[in-house]
Amino acid sequence: MNCFRNELQRQANRSYYDNGLRKPGQPSARFLFAVLFAITLALRLCHSRILWADEDYHLAAGIQVLHGKFLYRDLWYDKPPLAALVYAAMGAFPGWPLRLFDAVYVLAICASMFRFARDVWGEREGLWAAALLGFFLNFDHATAIIPIAPDFFMVLPHIAAVHSAWRGKALQAGLWSSAALLFHTKGLFVFAMCLLIDWSTVVPLLAGFLIPIGATAILLAWGGALSACLQQVWQWGFAYARTPAAGISPATVLRRIADWCGFHAALLIGAAWQLWSDRKHRAWIAAWIILSFTGAIVGGQSAPRYFLQLLPPLVLAASRGMVILAVRSTWSPNRLAWAVVAGITLLVPLIRFGPRYISLAEDLIIGRAHRWSDVVLDQDAQAAAAVINEHKRGGDTLFVWGYRPDVFVYTRLSTASLFWDSQPLTGVPADRHLFDSRPILPALAATDRAALVSTRPTFIVDGLSALNPHLSIGRYSELQAWLRDYQPIARTDLSIVYRRVDIGVAGTMRTIK
């Protein structure tokens, strides 16, 4: 039974909505995309000297793939493989190459959103959809940039999958849903939405979904990494979802949702007008919004990046709502008031996050170090990496106690074993280990620590003990004797750099500010 899709009615609707909405002199899509790309690239380049924790982990994993590591078997990695493989394919370089990739990917997402809205209603809605999505992908986050990590990577296949399902291309929708899942486990919600659009296409949809997933499973099994993948991605992921961090209460979650809604009020206003006025497309878009919202809040963490899953359906609905509010021939005092309110609400994220880009650009122009509390960890990692780069030789390896994958990016060293950060060794996820010391899988963490002591990395960077003494490396008895084989060679504000004693340490320990 077809749940939402009726192709003949859709074509009739499209002709109805297009009538009178396209006007001479309307900006072309090419012009809009040229402007979007130029603005996005300029803004992203302001961050060319910064790595964010949501991206450096996957860049570092990509570097390990380039070193010949097989994900999960040779490298502990708690996300599906595609993000690491994409970064490996582009060389996993930071700096301007990374920011150029960011801009290209944002443009691809906006183009996909444009096509979807254009096919549902018309070109004007498509232009609004691309512009709105481009705006919020640049002004959506407290750090004034959204790093392209699994949540962000998933936006493109999310849009493409639902668009394909809406067009009746079930096999294609299944393939895109599979790509979404290979970026992030929440891709299951994307598949569910495609299935909801038209149950009658379940066979080709499921076939398209299972082909890449099955091929990946076969490859992992061939490499002896399938069981490790299930443990690291799914067992760890489920344990993380069912164990909220300290201080995360229902009130906290509601506040985070309210904060996000406040910064995206323009989308909510536009979506409300579409759902109120457009009965023909109300049901499936409302279902998409509800399902995506569920995916964003599942697990009760409600971090800002999780709401990237909600952007596509809200932007699609808001694109139609904005056209309804903006067409002068249909304006009423009520619509005019709402149009003004929607425009004003767009200023909120622009005013809140825009000045940061200006500050960073000024730093780059005059050659000044960034003075921003949000980049302290990254600057500390650069200082620690500089020490290692002075001493490293071919074949040297690195282990980091804490969650500091940026050290791997700046040194490009290989890991000495499966473990390269302390998450699986303490059992405390990276997004909470600075303030929370409760392990989510304590027995597994103890087993992993026992395995770590048989490895002998050349360098160790302790980037956690000073930040959370409850997770200090010296508090674990099984690691104390192991650590005695290392001598500190440098201390930064937040880290200690160790080198293995049997290699020889020249000089005394330096303190780097």
How do residues 209-239 score in pLDDT, each as one tens digit?
Answer: 999 999 999 999 999 999 999 999 999 988 8
For 319, the enclosing helix (H) or strand (E) is helix 311-326
- Whether 512 has a pLDDT exceeding 70, the answer reads no
Alpha-helix residue ranges (DSSP H) falling in 404-474: 405-411, 423-426, 442-452
Confidence of residue 23 (pLDDT cuts 50, 70, 90): very low
Q: Are 61 and 55 in contact (CB under 8 A)?
A: no
For the chain, domain boundaries: 375-511
Beta-strand (E) ranges in 117-265? none
Spatial separation of the C-alpha atoms in residues 141 and 65, rounded to whole Å: 29
Residue 191, phi then psi, degrees to nearest 5: -60, -40
The interaxial angle of helices 96-120 and 29-45, nearest 10 deg, is 150
The pLDDT value recorded for residue 95 is 93
Q: What percent of the chain has pLDDT over 90?
A: 65
* Weakest-pLDDT range from 134-143, 184-193, 477-486: 134-143
Longest dimension (CA), the chain: 80
- Whether 137 has a pLDDT exceeding 80, the answer reads yes
- Whether 495 has a pLDDT exceeding 90, the answer reads yes
Q: Which residue has the higher pLDDT, 3 or 353?
A: 353
- Whether 487 has a pLDDT exceeding 80, the answer reads yes
Confidence of residue 7 (pLDDT cuts 50, 70, 90): very low
pLDDT tens for residues 455-471? 999 999 999 999 999 99
pLDDT tens for residues 287-331? 999 999 999 988 767 778 889 999 999 999 999 998 888 775 455
DSSP-assigned letter for residue 417? S
The pLDDT of 35-48, averaged and rounded, is 93
Per the structure block, which two tokens stand in for 28?
């072309």
Confidence of residue 57 (pLDDT cuts 50, 70, 90): very high
The pLDDT value recorded for residue 338 is 67
Q: Write the single-letter amino acid at 470.
A: H
The pLDDT value recorded for residue 146 is 80
Question: Sign of the C-alpha dihedral, residues 282, 204, 8, 116?
Answer: positive
The pLDDT of 251-270, averaged and rounded, is 88
Burial of 469 from C-beta contacts in 10 A (0-12 / 13-18 / 19+): exposed
- Whether 348 has a pLDDT exceeding 90, the answer reads no
Spatial separation of the C-alpha atoms in residues 397 and 393, rounded to whole Å: 9
* Weakest-pLDDT range from 24-33, 431-440, 447-456, 491-500: 24-33
- Whether 363 has a pLDDT exceeding 60, the answer reads yes
